Structure 1
């Protein structure tokens, strides 16, 4: 029989969209039995009400598809949370969508609002899933680097990156991987650029409760004129340590939400039903002190890890938000960041992520990203290994 080869091939983008370096390092860490500071799995214990209500929902038979926009108790809880913590007023019936994680929210929103060939401004260092989501949809990410270390933005560079094909801009605050929390002044300038050029603003605010040293998280949708053009994306994976449950959400004008919901339904159907009930219980039952206490706990973990990194001869960039540290590891043997990451894992038993996973154009070669969202005993072990 003849062998067909001309039409049986990968898509044009498939060879360039490979397993993330984060997952690659996790696999290698598991193989060697190291401490995984590579993946942001947030393996601390979930709050008891969240777990108990999810289990009860399973026992109560809440195991079928939900409405495409999610269960009413969760949408209503999200709306109350957004009003309380973000100063956002949204209609849970027409402006809130429960999604399969924040990544599912971005994917569905991009499908609904952007076309192949459109351009989207992405700040660097970037989260790889943002970049590759755009690429997978044949949308062109246009990378605008921030100043390394200070992570300041050159807004003239942002303006010069905008073309007639630009349709949107992505803001990740607090940021993965550098922990940058966008200031009010920065967000006001971004809002002005977005309005001047009639663009959408996609936000990823999933680390909103992980802010330190008096830093304040601001939701861009609350700025004047931004509610209609902002797609506010977040989730409960990090807040409740349930990354595997895939419970995210987005808030947007009803003008856009219907189409976004359709594409989310088409791609994911719905976020897992029982887990939605668990997440709703967390939002309804946990006091505000839960969130402030979590921030205090993670600040201590941040300081503990940064101290160990400094003792190991590295130079960490102290993050004001999220739960990652980018550190200069020039002293580690290796021709590039990937080799340095594997040297660190081999010699000290610590898995980190090559900085190049978050940079374009060959940048990030002297950096590694470390995650401190770990159980205390695991983080203590990692710090001991770092210090040798």
Structure 2
């Protein structure tokens, strides 16, 4: 038999999904893979029930159903402060995961470079491999996860095609300030570089921090591809509804890639999700308050247990420092944490380029009773997890 693809030879199972699989085997509390254990808004559930009997059940237009794109464009225009045209500037995808790879394949030629901040969401590495891109890693330095401006400009001087910007950032919860975004934008214009954003946590922000869209800065809309999804905002990760917003030219090219990757997102789910896109501002205010309570509950609990941790500015992740436990492998630590303590986390080495294995990632998108039970179990971490 001939050898299989060299491009995918080094692919491994997603570390995040692996931890979920092990978690299920041991009936542990899953604070690894980032999905909630509570239901989406009742309006979405009721809309889905109606769609189940009335349809649509056949293909939507591959770029996205017209009424769904119009609702997306209205919402995006409101929050971004831009005039987003539903037909020219919006492409609906199967989750933001597909939006990102469709964008990479539309923009980047094999051998071209792409800047990636480290730590980073694990899919960005796979996207680089699939598109043939060469990543240039720029560190985000704890505890605030700031970047060094000189280091970033040195990366831009290597003539990359694009920079990937996750804001708010998974896994560290960094929210890029307006000043930082302006600095990145100035470099993108100076060196003629595209900006590919991952903004799926755009509405999960903790005061006093604010989310700013880099696409709204002067001269940036034409070179920014804003990727996002409905998964986190409406607690429907299983619906796999994502999208990208960009200039007409980029949307047209990404649409051609998308057409041959997945054809289109699920028509019934697009129809049902319009109910969420039509929510008024009060929904997003309540969402922020809800996640702030979850964050405070979990982080206060970690502090009471004297477990060293980061303080996220947005998203729903927290990095825990495990250096005191004496493990050379954070993966081994996470596996034993599931077995001995009954709580699942993600080894931080899957997010860092430079072999850092002293962090694990928890997420707190859970009911308060789930978080309290997880904290009860984590009381044993200090005694059961030492080497």
TM-score for the superposition, normalised by structure 1 = 0.95
Give 1:221's match in structure 2, choosing from 207, 215, 219: 215
Q: Distance in 2 between matches of 1:102 and 1:87?
A: 21
Q: Distance in 1 between matches of 2:347 and 2:45?
A: 34
1:66 corresponds in structure 2 to 60
Q: Distance in 2 between matches of 1:15 and 1:374?
A: 36
1:281 corresponds in structure 2 to 275
What pairs with 1:83-232 in structure 2 (closer than 5 Å)?
83-163=77-157, 165-232=159-226
2:232 corresponds in structure 1 to 238
Describe the superposition over 1:78-109 as per-residue Cα deviations: whole angstroms up to 9, x where unpaired: 11111211212111011111111001101111
Structure 1: 5+ residue stretches without partners = none
1:383 lines up with 2:375 in the alignment = yes
Number of residue pairs matched by the alignment:
380
CA RMSD for the aligned pairs?
Answer: 1.3
Q: Distance in 2 between matches of 1:61 and 1:280?
A: 14
Q: Distance in 2 between matches of 1:182 and 1:9?
A: 44
Cα deviation, residue 163, structure 1? 4.8
TM-score for the superposition, normalised by structure 2 = 0.95
Q: Distance in 1 between matches of 2:134 and 2:45?
A: 40
Q: Distance in 2 between matches of 1:332 and 1:268?
A: 44
Describe the superposition over 1:38-72 as per-residue Cα deviations: whole angstroms up to 9, x where unpaired: 00012321011112212222311301111111111
Cα deviation, residue 333, structure 1? 5.0
Is the Cα contact below 8 Å between 1:333 and 1:343 reproduced in 2? Answer: no
2:383 corresponds in structure 1 to none
What pairs with 1:284-303 in structure 2 (closer than 5 Å)?
284=278, 286-303=279-296
1:41 corresponds in structure 2 to 35
- SS in structure 2 at match of 1:249: strand
Is the Cα contact below 8 Å between 1:37 and 1:372 reproduced in 2? Answer: yes
Structure 2: 5+ residue stretches without partners = 381-387
Give 1:24's match in structure 2, choosing from 11, 18, 21: 18
1:353 lines up with 2:361 in the alignment = no
Q: Distance in 2 between matches of 1:309 and 1:12?
A: 43
Q: Distance in 2 between matches of 1:248 and 1:303?
A: 29
Q: Distance in 2 between matches of 1:313 and 1:345?
A: 20
